[in-house]
Amino acid sequence: MQNKHAILKDYFGYTTFRPGQESVIDALLAGRDALAVMPTGAGKSLCYQIPALLMKGLTIVISPLISLMKDQVRALKDVGVQALCLNSSLTNEEYAETIRRLDSGQCNILYIAPERLFKENFQALTAVQSAVMVVVDEAHCVSQWGHDFRPSYLRIAEFINGLKQRPIIAAFTATATPKVKEDILSLLGLREPFAITTGFDRLNLYFAVQKPANKITALLSYLKPRDSQSGIVYCNTRKTVEKVWETLANRGFAVAKYHAGLEDVERRENQDDFLYDRKTVMVATNAFGMGIDKSNVSFVIHYNMPKNIESYYQEAGRAGRDGERAECVLFYNGRDVYVNDYLIKHSGDDNAEVDEALIQHNLQLLKEITWYATGTECLRRRLLGYFGEKAPAFCGKCSNCNTLESTNITIEAQKIVSCVLRLEQRGRRFGKTMIIDILRGSKNEKIQNLRLDTLSVYGIMADAPLQTIRTILDFLIEQEYLIVETGDFPIVRSASRAREIVFERKPVQMTLPKAETKPLRRENVPAPQLFDKDLFEKLRSLRTTLAQAAKTPSYIVFSDASLMDMCRRKPKTQDEFLLVSGVGVVKLKRYGTAFLSLIREYESESGS
Ligand code: ADP
Ligand code: MG
């Protein structure tokens, strides 16, 4: 009969599970509660959808946002699952019809907003009373320590306790902080759950920081070569959204905007324009996002630096959910730090007592993201480190790894440290500039007067650029081989570790700019798998036509990843089409003929 692998392929069209998915599925199928913490885009939905399809009875999925529910239900229906949703967007007739189908057992997975759980006798329905599983999606909403607290989530446990039989409870979130986890466990009443936190790395994402002198110019030149790609530009205020949106719109970009100051109707329209690919770029505040499961977002640009790494990673993580290569670019400017600092210190309404501890906590988080934006360390390593994960020093897929490289500076370090030691032997100590001057063999007056040009280290770094010597000197101070003593004026002296370099000849490495740094360009990213661009465009427009006919967003029909896989495989038969990633039995039936004939036609035209 059906098993999890068959469901994965037949319904969802995938052949392998992503990390963590299988173990959550197994736990749920064995009747255990579960708490899964997985990053945005990791594939949490399948973790409960597959067990739901294998269990007899109704699975109720509690989800905080209407757009998110609609999306999931649409996607499920499109692969042949009986899914429904209950939320405030339904008309009375639709509501009655949904209840009827639910009551007659015609529903396998029901999505519901938390506010609806106690309304209109929902809880009394026979199907609901005997539900086999309750899933809490975006479970961090139950915690006041999370960033999306929803009071209605607090009543979920009460709802579950009111059911005849206790269902299996599964909670999913991308927020990993211990306080939030504890709240989820206790407030939802999970019992000895199978708990898993998967790695936070998203291998298909390229991370970059840019420090543009003019952000608008930088944005325009970023967007120009990407006119057919979908992307989000996050700004920190409504005003900036309006300004950036206007500039892009005037230049003819297909751009939508989203912030809390817009009327509901306009906001929804703009969101749909983006989801349905009528507009390719969305300029928005952070009000836009949770529940945006659009899979083909190719880039997320942060026009301003957000308040902390957690928000940044969540927003940036909306890129590349389909597993294709995508970019996350942060535009940094020192002003962003001041603005955030101000916002943190003046947060909350005027009546509220200022929570000094919370402010300090938030300022610390601001520091961490500032280090991310200004540091020279591998960006991926910094992000993962923030979430408590170890990562190698070099990922090769971030702007720091692409412009910097780990360099052996053993010889340079020996020369610099020797210089400080030689001076100390003569009973002299100087500041950084003087040390650099001596090493470079400068002929300044002071050096000649003090006869420092007779030192053996005089001029031994005459060939090295001043900036390089300064960078390495700073590094040696940071690593505590040397110490800066501040008195009337700062002087450099040797630390006890200095002997490791001079006498023990210890090898020293540091990250330095590559000899010839190239500007950040897509070509610097490891080359993507090659695929036929012309065919891709044709498949894309077929997808648009089909999506319009079915009144769904294009990515519900097929993700970009599926289209690219079609380009690579160029399937000729139904069986071959079934091998394409994202193609299951129902999608084959629904769309197979149309796509196969397009591919066949294309192949014969191009004479292959
Ligand atoms: P999350 O809720 O964790 O942010 P989703 O459940 O929305 O992520 O999944 C993100 C994307 O990954 C979806 O487009 C989904 O179809 C895809 N996906 C999920 N599991 C797999 C898998 N095993 N193989 C390939 N794609 C997958
Ligand atoms: Mg999700």
The answer to whether residue 516 sits within a structural domain is no
- Residue 358: which CATH number? 3.40.50.300
Confidence tier at 147 by pLDDT (50, 70, 90): low
- Which of 45, 140, 275, 293 should be mutated for ligand 1, with most atoms under 8 A from CB? 45
**What percent of the chain is modeled with pLDDT above 90?**
60
9 versus 149: the higher-pLDDT residue is 9
Same domain, 124 and 244: no
Q: Does pLDDT of 25 surpass 80?
A: yes
Quote the domain boundaries for residue 564: 533-606
For residues 388-416, average pLDDT: 86
Q: Which range, of 161-175, 262-276, 516-530, 531-545, averages the lowest pLDDT?
A: 516-530
Identify the helix (H) or strand (E) that includes residue 327.
strand 326-331
What is the rounded average pLDDT of the residues 365-389?
A: 90
pLDDT of residue 290: 66
pLDDT of 502 strictly over 50: yes
| 519 belongs to a structural domain | no
Looking at the fold, whether 321 and 360 belong to one and the same domain comes out as yes
pLDDT at 561 > cutoff 80: yes
Domain CATH code at residue 418: 1.10.10.10
Q: Is ligand 1 within 6 A of the CB of residue 11? A: no
pLDDT for residue 519 is more than 70: no
**Protein residue closest via CA to atom 12 of ligand 1:** 43
- Test site for ligand 1: of 46, 50, 67, 201, most ligand atoms within 8 A of the Cβ: 46
Helices (H), 251-305: 264-275
Q: Find tokens 């089409």 and name the residue.
A: 577
Q: What percent of the chain has pLDDT over 70?
A: 94
Q: How far is CA 536 from the centre of its chain?
A: 26
Please state at what angle helix 533-550 crosses helix 560-569, rounded to 10 degrees: 130
Ligand 1, residue 39: give the atom nearest the CA.
3
- Range scoring the smallest mean pLDDT among 342-356, 460-474, 547-561: 342-356
Q: From the CB of 418, is ligand 1 less than 6 Å away?
A: no
Ligand 1 pocket check for 14: Cβ under 6 Å? yes
Full DSSP string of 43-65: -HHHHHHHHHHHSSS-EEEE-S-
Reported as a single tens digit per residue, the pLDDT across 206-238 is 999 998 889 999 999 999 988 788 999 999 999
Pair 442, 385 in one domain: no
Asked if 85 and 112 touch (Cβ cutoff 8 Å), the reply is yes
pLDDT at position 291 is 63
Ligand 2 midpoint to CA 351 (Å): 36
Sign of the CA dihedral with 25 first, then 293, 203, and 367 last: negative
pLDDT grade, residue 595 (50/70/90)? very high
Same domain, 328 and 452: no
At 394 the pLDDT is: 82
Residue 418 sits in the same domain as residue 381: no
Any domain includes 442: yes
pLDDT in tens, 103-146: 888 899 999 999 999 987 889 899 999 999 999 999 999 987 76
72 lines ligand 1 (CB under 6 A): no
Average pLDDT of the residues of the chain:
89
d(CA 592, CA 597): 8
Does the pTM of the predicted model rise above 0.85? no
State the closest ligand 1 atom to the C-alpha of 72, by its place in the atom list counted from 1. Answer: 7
**pLDDT tens sequence across 429-472:** 999 999 999 999 998 899 999 999 999 999 999 988 887 898 89
Residue having the nearest C-alpha atom to atom 5 of ligand 1: 43
pLDDT reported for residue 28: 97
Give mean pLDDT, residues 344-359.
Answer: 69
Residue 512 domain-assigned (yes or no): no
Q: Are residues 421 and 394 in the same domain?
A: no
| DSSP conformation letters of 102-171 | HHTT--SEEEE-GGGTTSTTGGGSHHHHT-SEEEETTGGGG-TTSSS--GGGGGHHHHHHTSSSPPEEEE
One domain for residues 331 and 183: no
* Per-residue model confidence (pLDDT) at position 380: 95
Residue 63 CA to ligand 2 centre (angstroms): 9
State how many domains the chain has: 4
pLDDT exceeds 70 at position 522: no
Does residue 310's CB lie within 6 angstroms of at least one atom of ligand 1?
no
521 occurs within a structural domain: no
Taking a C-beta distance cutoff of 8 angstroms, is the pair 40, 173 a contact? Answer: no
| Last residue within a domain, chosen from 146, 171, 197 | 197
Q: What is the pLDDT of residue 466?
A: 84
